[in-house]
Each structure stands twice: as structure tokens, then as C-alpha cells.
Amino acid sequence: MARRIFKRIFTLWVGTLLYLNPLQAQKEVLEKIIGEVEAFELYDRNEFPLGRYLPEVYKKDADFASEQLAKLESVETDDLSETELISLELLKFSLQNRVDEYNFGLYLNPIQADQGFHLSLNYRIRPIRDYESAKHYLNALNDMPRFAEEHFQVLRMALERKVSQPKAIFEGYESTYKQHITKNVAENAFYGPFMDLPSSFTPAQKDSILNAAKVAIEASVVPTFKRIKEFFESEYLPRTRNTFGISATPGGAELYQNRVNFYTTTDTYTANDIHEIGLKEVARIRSEMEGIIKSVDFKGSFADFLRFLRTDPQFYVTDGEELLKEARNIAKQIDAQLPAYFSTLPRKPYGVIKVPDALAPKYTGGRYSGSRSPTEPGYYLVNTYKLDSRPLYVLPSLTLHEAVPGHHLQGSLNQELSDSIPQFRRDMYLSAFGEGWALYTEFLGDEMGMYKTPYEKFGKLTYEMWRATRLVVDTGIHAKGWTKQQVLDFMKDNTALSLHEINTETDRYIAWPGQALSYKMGELKIRELRTKAEAELGPKFNIREFHEVILGQGTVTLPILERRVNDYIKREKA
């Protein structure tokens, strides 16, 4: 009897091992590949503090990505957990994009109207926390000459291949570099962090750091920006292309469809599909805007109302600190509402600061700047440049989008998922998800009662209209041959954005094909999924649970998000 029982148990044990080992093997293969991807280093970060940007470096990255994609094909998915399956899908998506970016030569244009390799250096201007961070900052400053020369090489390649950025986006571009060419070290923005060193520094450390800082500014920073000025004005800008959309470049039409797929995280849509979706959204939002115009008894046309919003002093402040104060006040009001809509809130705090002067002229109205460090806060940057183009009626929408519950909340929660997802996913950002979520939170702001006047409600609609017009103008520029004037006119006729913002935004769409599609396409999908969940669950629908489903696995593609919501609906209905 005992022998028969033992035999049955042994048989079950062996069977279990035979069942589990292949399953365990699949998980281990996936974990090994993820580990290899996360450990892969293109260069020695100590030797190259600002990174490496030579063509051979991009090729090395693409070759590595291709090798890992081939390995991932052997991983069977049937027995993976949800988290593991999502990790597999996201890793494939990310690696394929690295291959595509190299094959399409996207690394050849490391500059845009409001972004670029030299502008990225401004984000390193942050308070010095300790002696170690001071040394890291100094290393970055001293790496600037090499950093710039490597970018000059790829920009020259873009000129040779006739795929440079269009000349049309570079009006006033000197404002992005000339302010760093200073005669006095103390006047240079990169010296700023050294003027307020922590009290923990010993006198000897302070003297050492300050002397090294002066040398870095005089020997590295200023000469680098002089060289940048010379390169742009004498070599690059005169030879940039006179065409407009990316489809006018060799292989541009195929490149644009690839970017449409990447920025919508799906291969469902053509450029024409998205153009038509955009036109329908513009018509819908326009109708709602006209309803608000009637509600305030405005006498005049739609264009007259937009002119009124752009010019009436009641909608503007004359002091940058006043604009920051208004933004901080709105942020505090939103903070108080969050527990009613979210069961999980980020531990990381955020601050509201102005856009650095060096960036402000070509910058958008506001943006979020996060930090991967768990000890550093995120920052909601508000542009205080040209205050007559920064209306107060859009400030609630801007704050919801850039701070909470938009980018700061979503990005911080993504990082704070900690060991529940791999590091590459905590670092991942997909515009369709991140920007789609941030635009959805502007819609959510209406439920939260954040739009207190008809003008702020109109501001919310004008921000939504802004994202809807992007679907039309981005595809218009890059697939339908639109001119810059067509874009400017379409946005001027349909949004309440200031003319300055319309100009800076248009330059951005020209220089960054496809990215502008992600906001509205992502938001439409999230709202569609919420509407479906509300309709199918009825009184069982819970907004906090829904948001947990949306954010609970961090950044994902829209197809993965749809699957998660469908699974949530099935669970709740069971």
C-alpha cells in the first residue's frame, strides 16, 4: 500500500517537473534577454559623461537590437504571466524601434526648433547637492567640446544625404546658443549652480570646485558655444533643405508611415486615416466652443472671439512671478482632489518653476521635466517669456497635463513600480500612452471642477482643439504636401492659441514627424476604453479602479492597454 502511494506521488512529482521545467525555461530565457538589454552599454559613461553620438555607435546599438529580437522569437508566450508577457511585447517594440531609427537615419537630425543636442545641455543646470554631484557636473561641462564635434559629424551627413531639417524652422535660431557666449564667467548660466554650493562643502572643497568651474567655463563651455555658432551659421544653416515635409526627402514617405506606427504604437492607421479622424474631432470640438461663446453673450464671429481672447488684458499677467503663483495655486487645488480619483499616488514631489531663459524663446507654454533619481523632485516648467502670449484661461489645462494628474503623476508611478517590472520598463516612455494620458487628464479636470469660468472651459477646449488640429496638420505637412502657411492658417482659424505659440508649435511639427499624433490618438483610445467600461459595468464601474488598470503596468502600447481594460471588464462582470 505504502509502495503504491509512493509510486503515485513520485509519478506526479516527475510529471510536474516535466511540466514546470519548459515553463521555467521560457521565463529564464526572457529574464536573461532583458538582463542583457539592460546591461548593454554603448560606451563608458565615465569616459563620455554626455554620451556618444557617432554613426558607428548607432550602428552598434541597432546590431545589438537585431540580435536580441532574434532571440526573443524563441520565447513561447502561453505560460507567461501578464507582467512577463507585457515585458516581452514592450521589449520587442522598443528593440524594433532602435533598428528602425538607425535604418531610417533618424539619428542624423539631433536638432529641432525647440530641442537639440546643444539645448539639452541646459537641463543639466540644476542645484548642486553634494561634492560628488559637483564633480559629475564639472565632468559634463568639460565633455562639451567632444559632445558638440560628434553631433557636427552626423549633421554633416544629413546635409550630404539631403535629409537635414528644413530651413523654415530655423528663424531666430541664434537665440538657442548665443547667450552662452559670455565674457564674464559669473554671467554664464552654466556657472549658476556653483554660486550656491551646499554648506556641507569644506573651504578646501569649495575653493577646488570654484577654480575648476571657472576653468571649465573658460576652456570648455564658452569655446564650445562659439564653435556651435560658427558651425550653424557658416556650415549648417545655409545648406539646410528648402523642402518642407519629411515625404519630400529620399525614402520620406516610408519613414513617415513608420513614425505614424511608432507614435501611435500600432500599425492600424494610415496618414490619411488620421487626417480624417482629426477633421472630425476639429468639427466636434468647434461645435462645443461655439456653444460656450453663445453662453457668454459675446457679440461677434468665432474669429472675433479668438481675437478677444488673444488681446484682452484680463486674461494676461504682466509679471512672470504672478504667472508662476497662479500655476502653483492651481496645482495645490488639483492635489487636494487626487485621492478621490486615484488609489495609488506617487511618493515623489514636484515643483513649479519657470522655463530657463536660454530655452524660453523657442519653448512651448509649459513642459514637465522628470528625474530618474528617487531623491530628486520633478519639475513643472512654466514659460514666463513673452507674457502676452501666456493666457491664464489655459493654465488649468496646462497644469493638469504637465503636473498632476498628468505627466508627473504617471511618470513617477511608472518609476515607483520598482521591482514589479524590469528597469527598462521603468525608464520607458511611449508618447501615445504618456501624452494620451496627459490629455485625458485635461478631460478629467472637468469632472474635478478645475474649470471655474466659461473662459477656462473654453481654454480646456482650445487645448483639446490644439491636439486635434495636430492630427490634421502633422499629416498635412508630412503626407499631403501642406505649406507652412496652410498650417499656420488652419491653427489660427481653429484654436485660441497665441500667434507666437502657433509659430513655435508649427516649427515643432515640421521637425518631429509623427510625434504630434500621439496626444490625441492616445487620449481617444483611453476615453473609448473608459466609455466601454462604464457602459458594460454600469454601477460596478469605479473610477479609481479604472485608473489603476490604466496605470498599473506602467507605460504600455495602446493594444496592450486595450487588452488590459477588456480583461478588467471581464473580471468585474464575472
Categorize the per-residue pLDDT at 71 as very low, low, confident or very high, splitting at 50, 70 and 90.
very high
DSSP state of 424: H
**Is the pLDDT confidence value at 513 over 90?**
yes
Q: What is the mean pLDDT of residues 61-69?
A: 98
Categorize the per-residue pLDDT at 172 as very low, low, confident or very high, splitting at 50, 70 and 90.
confident
Q: What is the mean pLDDT of residues 354-376?
A: 86
Categorize the per-residue pLDDT at 12 as very low, low, confident or very high, splitting at 50, 70 and 90.
very low
The DSSP bridge partners found for residue 198 are none
Categorize the per-residue pLDDT at 179 as very low, low, confident or very high, splitting at 50, 70 and 90.
very high
CATH class of the domain whose range is 2-104: mainly alpha
Q: pLDDT tens, 415-431?
A: 999 879 999 999 999 99
Give the pLDDT score at 17. 38
Give the pLDDT score at 22. 59
Q: What is the mean pLDDT of residues 130-156?
A: 96
Task: Report the range of poorest mean pLDDT among 9-13, 195-199, 254-258, 525-529.
Answer: 9-13
In the chain, where are the structural domains located?
A: 2-104, 117-242, 252-526
**Whole-angstrom distance, CA of residue 530 vs CA of residue 341:** 14
**Is the pLDDT confidence value at 6 over 70?**
no
Give the pLDDT score at 41. 84
Rounded to the nearest 10 degrees, the angle between the axes of helix 82-103 and helix 252-264 is 160
Give the pLDDT score at 46. 81
Task: Report the range of poorest mean pLDDT among 151-160, 415-424, 511-520.
Answer: 415-424
Q: What is the mean pLDDT of residues 402-425?
A: 95
**Is the pLDDT confidence value at 209 over 90?**
yes
Cβ neighbours around 291 below 10 Å, total: 13
Q: What is the mean pLDDT of residues 165-176?
A: 91
Q: How many residues does the chain have?
A: 574
**Is the pLDDT confidence value at 218 over 80?**
yes
Q: What is the mean pLDDT of residues 222-240?
A: 98
SS percent in the chain: helix, strand, coil, step 5: 70, 5, 25
Task: Report the range of poorest mean pLDDT among 1-10, 159-168, 339-348.
Answer: 1-10
**Whole-angstrom distance, CA of residue 36 vs CA of residue 149:** 30
**Is the pLDDT confidence value at 7 over 60?**
no
**Is the pLDDT confidence value at 224 over 70?**
yes
Categorize the per-residue pLDDT at 399 as very low, low, confident or very high, splitting at 50, 70 and 90.
very high
**Is the pLDDT confidence value at 100 over 90?**
yes
Give the pLDDT score at 23. 59
Task: Report the range of poorest mean pLDDT among 4-18, 56-70, 102-116, 428-442.
Answer: 4-18
Residues near 215 by Cβ (< 8 Å), separated by ≥ 6? none
**Is the pLDDT confidence value at 467 over 70?**
yes
Average pLDDT, the chain: 93
**Is the pLDDT confidence value at 527 over 60?**
yes
Categorize the per-residue pLDDT at 378 as very low, low, confident or very high, splitting at 50, 70 and 90.
very high
Torsional sign, CA 161, 164, 167, 171: negative
Q: pLDDT tens, 280-314?
A: 999 999 999 999 999 999 999 999 999 999 999 99
Rg (the chain; Cα; Å): 26
The DSSP bridge partners found for residue 241 are 166
**Is the pLDDT confidence value at 273 over 90?**
yes
* Rounded alpha-carbon distances, angstroms, from residue 345 to 358, 407, 413, 416, 574: 33, 13, 7, 10, 28
Categorize the per-residue pLDDT at 435 as very low, low, confident or very high, splitting at 50, 70 and 90.
very high
**Whole-angstrom distance, CA of residue 21 vs CA of residue 386:** 64
**Is the pLDDT confidence value at 19 over 80?**
no
Q: What is the mean pLDDT of residues 109-124?
A: 86
Contact present, 399 and 327 (Cβ < 8 Å): yes
Rounded to the nearest 10 degrees, the angle between the axes of helix 484-494 and helix 454-479 is 160
DSSP state of 164: P
DSSP state of 241: B
Beta-sheet pairing, 378-382 with 350-354: parallel
Q: pLDDT tens, 33-50?
A: 999 999 998 878 888 999
Site of grid cell 569655446: 223
Where helices occur in 115-221 by DSSP H, the ranges are: 117-120, 131-142, 144-161, 203-216
Whether omega for the bond prior to residue 405 falls within 30 degrees of 0, making it cis, is yes
**Is the pLDDT confidence value at 1 over 90?**
no
